[in-house]
Structure 1
Amino acid sequence: MDTSLILFTRDLRVRDNPALAAACEAGRVVPLFVFDDAILDGPFAAPNRVRFLLDSLADLRESLSERGGDLVVRRGDPAGEAVRLARETGARSLMLADERTAYAARRLDRLREAVRADGLDLDISAHPGITVVTPGDLTPGSGDHYKVFTPYWRAWEAARWRPAADAPAEVRLPSGVEPGTLPRLTDLTSGSPSPDLAPGGESAGRERMRAWLRDDAAAYDDVRDDLAADRTSRLSPYVKFGCVSPRELAEAAPDPYRRQLAWRDFHHQVAAAFPDLPRRDYRSRDRRWKDDEDAFTAWCDGTTGVPIVDAGMRQLHREGFMHNRARLITASFLTRDLGVDWRRGLGHFNEWLVDGDVADNAGNWQWVAGTGNSTRPDQVMNPLRQASRFDPRGDYVRRYVPELAGVEGSRVHRPWTLDEERRRSLDYPPPIIDPDDR
């Protein structure tokens, strides 16, 4: 009976996991996750993501154990650890998810190089599952990738999706393999996670998916921009970590939500073609960014004096998550109103967002900043108009900015217009810029 390795990366689930299904079909299976020092030593080892990752791995281990297997945990270089385990178990094949980020491409190259250097007869294969449609599967006649979303969306809608992979009924782990223990949060990162961070894992993700599909999915297009209603799916962390299959979600969700998943796939195919997306302007606009540390700090801390902006930033810190409309408002305020480089905003989001997907996060920041794939690169989102439209009663602001909890109705969006005595009693800063003058 042959033995296969599956190297889990961003596909932390047993349902609709093509790489896991292929490994199980081959015979005995060694499910492996490697805590990668190259990631743990960098900015992506943020407490929120590490906590969510540990939850997800614990849940994955339980799911594999229920099927007779286990999750083998190692720390170090994924290529070196995978080759070492393949040699120990006599594995003939290694499966992993097909990722197209610059880092994932380097990891795959290192795996192949390590196999050659060791002289192993180990077949390496990458399987779909990170996106609904794999980057590169859809290409325009005029180039290597779609640069504008609408034609991509038309192609995406017409595409034939891969068949869903069944969850394995049995996972047969070879005898003698030491699974290893999951580390503690403090072993991997310093700092504390957000107090209201959602739990990670496939079980939590599927529970959230079922509840959203049952209760809110039908109204998604009507409520997704309503800040106070908070009726978005909140599934993005589970999709980012692969706890929920984006393909399965796309099949079950209504068209307006499917379009959002297509946006995610769009950014992934942009990042595959332009690996510098998180670091360099996709389209140069000759912008001159300001070096304003005080303004940037106020934005990060949620103390700009513009309530709708501060509410979004404080939600980010409290939950490791931010409402989709608030993300657009806060990013526009930083780049368009304060004139601060989008890369600085992206960096701060990466420190806190549990769903901080490399391609999607960078693609959206560049879209807002006017350097990315937007067909309207000069569009500016006035925060007061956005607040009036998407938080008309001010409930979202009052939820996250307690200093303003006692301000009535929509006046909460313009506390600087209150009389002087009332303003002083609020213990809330004046705006760092005049938002009425934007």
Structure 2
Amino acid sequence: MLQGKKIVLGVSGGIAAYKAAALTSKLTQSGAVVKVIMTENAKWFVGSSTFQALSRQPVYDDTFEEQDPSGVQHIDLADWADMFVLAPATANLIGKLANGIADDMLTTTLLATEASVYIAPAMNVHMYQHASVMANLKKLDGFGFKFIEPGDGYLACGYVGKGRLEEPETIVEVLRKETDRRRQLSGRKLLITAGPTREKIDPVRYFTNPSTGKMGYALAREAAEMGAEVTLISGPVTLDTPPNVKRIDVVSARDMYESVMEHFPDQDIVIKTAAVADYRPAVTFDHKMKKKDGEWEVEMERTTDILQELGKKKTTQFLVGFAAETQNVEEYGRMKRDKKNLDAIVVNDVSEAGTGFGADENRVIWMGKEEEKLPLLSKQDVAREILDRIVREIRDL
């Protein structure tokens, strides 16, 4: 699975750097082309000639030492990579990456790459558990970086606990599985809706909801990484478009309905995470409504139920809905799945603190051919779990 894969291995300054030499060897033996970038501190533990001999490729350690004057090496490397692996990733490197600091060859290249980045931390157990390190890891998780968790055991500092760089064989196996996973949606067209809608009253007022689009954008990012051709129809959000995703911006429920219906026929998979308004003002005003004495009543009318319309029109599409509930979560989820002719629905209790709208984590129930309650996970991990289940269910059709 790694044959011909172009991997940049970033080695930072920790005692676990010696394991990076073994990792370079095993990746090369697996058929990957490995180019190593070392930090200055990494060279205190392992020499660059070691990596050069094992990889049979140049080793990079200086932003300003251009090995090929016809290009800019940190940009060329960033563009060249299929995968980027940080092993070991020290607390210092993790902190720099989380906060956009680019002060050497490794961090400069990292910020320039659009390849998937796999972070394999290695440090003292207390460093790993420090609040600032945990916050930086959580931040990187939100950015879409992937982690190869450190193992438990005896550490070089004498402590026993979590912080030991995972073994090279395990890292190689993780990369193999990830490479296989990247092909699972290859050739599939996938439509995702995300974010809220805004229903205008007048030029300065509208009805909306707290959706931030994080769940839908996490799904779009993950699906694109799995090889899908992703179209993301998004309500008003402040999120960046994930790499290799076609984004269409809409505002109102009517806008979203029209865009979804236009793109629906040639899709293979449709996931509707958007929190679309159920009602809109029956009358809108071209000018700002001025304050008056007394009450102001706004008559509301129903919007079109997009998901229900898709359920009526679907032919071969695999259709997944989302349901945000505050009570009788499972019962209402099943009712919506069956009533709207969905293949699956993802339900979550938005009354639970720290999950749902605006949060970085979610606790959901998958209701497809089988039902499964997932634990509290980051929204990126929830996206992975959902897409894994969609792939399994499509495979069984």
Instruction: Return the structure number with greater strand share.
Output: 2
- Structure of greater Rg: 2
Question: What is the TM-score normalised by the length of structure 2?
Answer: 0.27
Question: What is the TM-score normalised by the length of structure 1?
Answer: 0.25
Using CA pairs below 8 Å that are at least 6 residues apart, which structure has the higher relative contact order? 1
Instruction: Return the structure number with greater helix share.
Output: 1
